[in-house]
Amino acid sequence: MPELPEVESVRRGLSAWLTGATITRAQVLDARILGTTSARNVPAERVVSFERALEGVRIVSVERRGKYMWMPLAGDGLRGDSVAGGSETAEVDEWALAMHLGMSGQARIHEAEDQLHPHTRAVFDVAGPAGVGQLRFVDQRIFGHLGVERLVPGVAGVGATGTAGERRLVAESASGAGLDPFEGGFSVPVVARAFARKNVAMKTALLDQRVVSGVGNIYADEALFEAGVHPAARASRLRISRIERVLEAARDVMARALEVGGTSFDALYVNVNGESGYFERSLQVYGREGQPCVRCSTPITRVVLGGRSTHVCVRCQKPQRLR
DNA sequence: AGAATAACCTGTCTGC
DNA sequence: TGCAGACAGGTTATTC
């Protein structure tokens, strides 16, 4: 559900509230939120070590790359949870609380006495410059994830600036993600050349978080429409300038979405205060199957590509624009 | 290498 | 009213 603009809206809300705050208590209500897609069975001791690792720790900042979010930690007595192998102690500033919203995750700021939403999976009592309250992780489908993770150097891949030694530190689960279009070192021409080496559909390339992170199903469709490129067009067959246009469109459409708080179809995507974003009304193709194209009035078509719903105007997005 | 599929979950909506 | 089936903004593993 949440893509880069939605995650960034959440990050900003969390940053304003949590920077410099201390976690006084951590409670996991559903252990599955600590698991991963492939490892759902979370032993009880991992829940305990996760909770203990966070108690008394200070949140230094709230960071994001693509859809991955994490909070670097500082404080005495932090111990890694079993993600990193258990009881070893480590330098405090090597750790972060990682958070991925998945399809239905929400990070919400509440007062302790507020009623608990039924899908609340974890609760963190916090006290800091902005006051005392609770950070609650609510996630209907439990595709989201929480973890205490090491900070490690991010990808050295396309678009990264500087040498390997200067790579930005990211939470371990985000270490495979490419730079997102809003990061300083992101380079459209460099990423476009990486796309051109891939013999895959343009939409598939956009959704591959290892190359460029942050683009999800909605903004992929929107960017391809804006650039006039068919989602199934092979990246390797397109002119570099066309690929660059898609990447610029992705950055532009996500920037515009961010300005209005992201895209919400329902109460599943909300910011830290439970408020919806307004970009749904600006969508040109996503979710508009059968409705007239905003440019040429041809009905929008829905096809399945890479297992994902894909919306296209077959007149504005011709498949054959080859090198 | 890349494509397709399933899996992880819960909920909503549609059609019969 | 009930029920089956499709579908949902993401990620990962497996199989062909």
Residue A210 CB in 7 A reach of strand B: no
Residue A308 CB in 7 A reach of strand B: no
In this complex, the nucleotide whose C1' atom is nearest to the CA atom of residue A205 is B2
pLDDT of residue A45: 94
User: What would the two tokens of residue A26 be?
Assistant: 């951590």
- Nucleotides, chain C, CB distance < 7 Å: 7-13
pLDDT of residue A40: 81
pLDDT of residue A37: 79
Query: Which among A190, A254, A251 is positioned nearest to A218, based on CA atoms?
Result: A254
| Through-space separation of residue A230 CA and nucleotide B15 C1' in angstroms | 32
- Nucleotides, chain B, CB distance < 7 Å: 1-11
Query: Which among A231, A247, A251 is positioned nearest to A194, based on CA atoms?
Result: A247
Per-residue model confidence as pLDDT tens for chain A (323 residues)? 699 999 999 999 999 999 999 999 999 999 999 998 778 889 999 999 999 999 999 999 999 999 999 999 998 656 555 444 444 555 557 999 999 999 999 999 999 999 999 999 999 999 999 999 999 999 999 999 999 999 999 986 554 444 444 589 999 999 999 999 999 999 999 999 999 999 999 999 999 999 999 999 999 999 999 999 999 999 999 999 999 999 999 999 999 999 999 999 888 889 999 999 999 999 999 999 999 999 999 999 999 999 999 999 999 998 765 55
Residue A237 CB in 7 A reach of strand B: no
Catalytic positions of A, written as ranges: 2-3, 67, 308
Residue A310 CB in 7 A reach of strand B: no
| Through-space separation of residue A206 CA and nucleotide C5 C1' in angstroms | 30
| Through-space separation of residue A207 CA and nucleotide B3 C1' in angstroms | 14
| Through-space separation of residue A43 CA and nucleotide C14 C1' in angstroms | 25
Residue A143 CB in 7 A reach of strand B: yes
| Through-space separation of residue A277 CA and nucleotide C3 C1' in angstroms | 35
Burial class (CB in 10 A: 0-12, 13-18, 19+), A22: middle
| Through-space separation of residue A199 CA and nucleotide B1 C1' in angstroms | 8
Helix axes A240-259, A188-196, angle to 10 degrees: 130
For residue A21, CA distances in Å to A14, A28, A145 come to 11, 19, 21
In this complex, the nucleotide whose C1' atom is nearest to the CA atom of residue A268 is C9
pLDDT of residue A164: 42
pLDDT of residue A82: 40
pLDDT of residue A86: 44
Q: Read off the pTM.
A: 0.94
For residue A293, CA distances in Å to A3, A229, A259, A296 come to 24, 14, 24, 5
For residue A267, CA distances in Å to A11, A139, A201, A270, A275 come to 18, 12, 32, 6, 8
With vertex at residue A214, the alpha carbon angle to CA A211 and CA A218, rounded to the nearest 5 degrees, is 115
- Helix or strand or coil: residue A41? coil
A65, A36 in Cβ contact below 8 A?
A: no
Number of C-beta neighbours around residue A39 at 10 A = 8
Residues whose beta carbon sits under 7 Å from strand C: A 1-3, 6, 36-38, 66-68, 100, 102-103, 141, 143, 173, 176, 207, 209, 216-218, 262-266, 268-269, 277, 307-309
